Amino acid sequence: MTSQQIAQLLPDQEFSEAAKVLEMIARTPDQLLEYDTSLKAQRDAEARISYAQQAGIEIGEARGEARGEARGEARGEARGLEQGLLRGQIILLQQLLQQSVWTDDQFASCDSQRLGQTIADLRQCLKIGSR
């Protein structure tokens, strides 16, 4: 059977490749060498593409992680600054009202909304006390 006949009976690429190899074996050593060289070049090209894709994925992941970390740090700094400002206002208002200043544990148990409400409550007490 010729490679064309095999390709018609067995259309899968693997069978077509095998038929071509058998056909090449039946030919001259020069033709076989030419086929092997062509096949090697094709596989080398596929390997280069695969390597480039993998390298691109790794570079993309590294850049994404770096950007994510930078954004996370910036958000963390902004939250820390906000928490620090709220904490400072609470401490100042508590001192002005001659109240005991909260401990670190008390501050840690409050979110920004609770701290804001505490500031509003302390300001209200300061307004009432100064009248």
Q: Tell me: the pLDDT tens digits for 44-60?
A: 999 998 888 888 888 88
**How many Å apart are CA 58 and CA 11, to the nearest integer?**
37
3-state helix, strand, coil in the chain (%, to 5): 85, 0, 15
How many helices (H) and strands (E) are present in the chain, helices listed first? Answer: 5, 0
Q: Which of 92, 90, 84, 97 is nearest to 120 (CA)?
A: 90
The pTM is what?
A: 0.47
∠ Cα 8 9 10 (to 5°): 95
Query: Range of 40's domain?
Result: 3-129
What pLDDT was estimated at residue 117?
Answer: 94
**Per the structure, how many domains does the chain have?**
1
**CB contact at 8 A, 90 and 121:** no
8-state DSSP, 12: S
8-18 average pLDDT score: 80
Burial of 90 (0-12, 13-18, 19+ CB in 10 A): buried
Q: Report the run of H or E that residue 28 belongs to, with start and end.
A: none
